[in-house]
Amino acid sequence: MTDITIALSKGRIFEDTAPLLKAAGIVALDDPESSRKLILATNKASVRLIIVRASDVPTYVQYGAADLGIAGKDVLLEHGSAGLYQPLDLNIARCKMMVAVPEGFDYDSAVRQGARLRIATKYVQTAREHFSEKGVHVDLIKLYGSMELAPLVGLADAIVDLVSSGNTLKANHLVAVEEIMPISARLIINQAALKLKRDIIQPVLEAFSQAIPR
């Protein structure tokens, strides 16, 4: 019988989580990058992994369809934390939430002059909070990806997006003008599961916390 379910997204979250799982003695029996399976068995009969979209991880955990999950802080800020414990910053999948504009756009003077800025982003909650704290008036335009395109075709003056190497900005002639916050992935736990399955969850939590990269 399967006892706990861990929700993960493939790509960078899975890659960075695999060493933490290993430290907890958990190894997936299939590689999610090559397998089409959405439920992956592990070497432990009591643990299975489910592969979902990054932004869907908190939803599976909140409703108890998964007991544990790994999600970026960016995702958690947009989703909200109802029903979720967030005991560990795993310090993986790190990047920065930033404001970026086309090369040559004078962001500072636009802000100083109180211009109303059009901001395209997937991170509407985070962007709204950031600009409201700064007292900058913005119109937020919700996108689901490829935000870098928006200023290039006149959809927005600026974007709020995640930046790691900076290569995507550079390739699209954009520059970061403001850091909103550092981002990393967090362990999230369904609150009821933590109480009911503490005997299985607690050792995983401890192994993860010992194995967090610094």
Contact set with ligand PRT (CB under 6 A): 9, 11-13, 53-55, 72, 74-75, 93, 95, 145, 161-168, 183, 185
Give CA separation, 138 vs 114, 116, 118, 142, 158, in Å.
10, 5, 6, 12, 10
Q: In the complex with ligand PRT, which residue's Cβ is closer, 79 or 197?
A: 79
| 173 torsion bin: left (phi>0), alpha (psi -120 to 50), beta (else) | left
Q: Say how far residue 88 (Cα) sits from the centre of its chain.
A: 14
Contact (CB, 8 A) for 188 and 71: yes
Stated as kind and residue range, the H or E segment containing 75 is helix 73-79
Q: In the complex with ligand PRT, which residue's Cβ is closer, 76 or 138?
A: 76
Minimum gap (Å) between residue 14 Cβ and ligand PRT: 8
Q: Identify the three-state secondary structure at position 20.
A: helix
Q: Identify the three-state secondary structure at position 192.
A: helix
